[in-house]
A and B are shown apart, each in its own frame.
Chain A
Amino acid sequence: MALKIQTHVQIFHFLRQTGGDMVEAALTMPLMVLLALVLVNFALVGHARTASQQAAHFGARMGSIAFAGAELQARQSAESVLSGCLCQAQVSHVAATDNPGGEVTVEVQRTVPNYFQSLLSLFGGTLPATFTGTTSATFRKEGW
């Protein structure tokens, strides 16, 4: 009986000592996880932005030097770059002409999910469910 009481007292003291730390950790942990998720999510947004820029640039450039079928060439070239991207991006618009002197424009639209939206709502913050953006590149069609 005496041993049981002593054990209960030890547990009480332990909880009393560490309780504050646990409460503190419970309060700060969501904030730290949110911060980490924000960093990873925005790194993904940056990666998607850079990849879509590269795709638009490469597509427009390839379309501008194609002898014929500039639109198809531009689209396929941009999509080939996007195939290596760890993101949701697609060629949203291609405007190209086979006439020399015309313009070849490639637009790439990117979408990155907002992974910290639900956690952010715990702190009263709101952000869109996805981060979207459009990148475009324009080159002059080669030739005279």
Chain B
Amino acid sequence: MYRFVTSSKASLVWNTMVLMTVFLPLASLVFDVPQYFAAAANLEMALDAAAQEAANDCLQLLSYSQSGTTSLDSSCVASQARRRFEVLTDPMAAAGHVPNLTMVTCSNACRTLHLQGATTIRVLFSLSPPITIVRSSNSQVRMTAGMP
């Protein structure tokens, strides 16, 4: 066995070992890391846009005009955020990811909206167990004098 491994006849074995331990993980790294960052960036963008849109659409304008305090309609934010999130993550779902809006809450007397989303990705040529990417986004309503 020792003589076989150290002889030139075993070069195929060595080549296969190098391929398995160096090139395949390297190839996986090259393909999977950008895919991971792309999925995370898409998720982040969808959450940001959903949080911003829900905060805009669900502002209680009547309350603001009467009392001068800003707050969001808690019954509205979840549906608005989910609607926008689903539209923006359609391409991700088509690409085989499973994006989910996992949490929609508001705090600070419902002035601040918190969104959390997650998606899964498989690496090592889709051989690994699903890896969950979690991202979150916060949105707070602000009233600016210069706003048209």
Contact of A140 among B23, B41, B56 (CB under 8 A): B56
Majority SS of interface residues in chain B? helix
Q: Does A75 contact B (CB under 8 A)?
A: no
Contact of A21 among B8, B33, B53 (CB under 8 A): B8
Report chain B residues within 8 Å CB of A68.
Answer: 148
Contact of B34 among A47, A101, A139 (CB under 8 A): A47
For the complex of A and B, 10 pairs with smallest distance between CB atoms: A46-B34, A140-B53, A53-B41, A57-B45, A39-B30, A50-B37, A43-B30, A42-B30, A143-B147, A139-B49
Task: Give chain B interface residues in 19-65, CB to chain A under 8 Å.
Answer: 23, 26-27, 30-31, 33-35, 37-38, 41-42, 44-45, 48-49, 52-53, 56, 59, 61
Q: Does A96 contact B (CB under 8 A)?
A: no
Task: Give chain A interface residues in 24-41, CB to chain B under 8 Å.
Answer: 24, 28, 35, 38-39
- Interchain CA distance A28-B12 in the complex, whole Å: 12
- What residue in chain A is nearest B53 (Cβ atoms)? A140
Query: Is A64 a contact partner of B38 (Cβ separation < 8 A)?
Result: no
Tell whether A138 pairs with B49 under 8 Å between CB atoms, given A39-B26, A143-B148. Answer: yes
Query: Is A49 a contact partner of B88 (Cβ separation < 8 A)?
Result: no
- Interchain CA distance A57-B37 in the complex, whole Å: 14
- What residue in chain B is nearest A47 (Cβ atoms)? B34
Query: Is B30 a contact partner of A46 (Cβ separation < 8 A)?
Result: yes
Q: Does B107 contact A (CB under 8 A)?
A: no
Query: Is B56 a contact partner of A49 (Cβ separation < 8 A)?
Result: no
Among A21, A60, A138, chain B packs the most CB atoms within 10 A around the CB of A138
Tell whether A101 pairs with B56 under 8 Å between CB atoms, given A43-B30, A143-B148. Answer: yes
Report chain B residues within 8 Å CB of A39.
Answer: 26-27, 30
Query: Is A67 a contact partner of B34 (Cβ separation < 8 A)?
Result: no
- Interchain CA distance A46-B148 in the complex, whole Å: 40
Q: Does B11 contact A (CB under 8 A)?
A: yes
Query: Is B56 a contact partner of A144 (Cβ separation < 8 A)?
Result: yes
Q: Does A100 contact B (CB under 8 A)?
A: yes
Query: Is A138 a contact partner of B88 (Cβ separation < 8 A)?
Result: yes
Tell whether A53 pairs with B52 under 8 Å between CB atoms, given A45-B34, A67-B146, A67-B148. Answer: no
The smallest C-beta distance from B8 to any residue of chain A, in angstroms, reads: 7
Q: Does A114 contact B (CB under 8 A)?
A: no
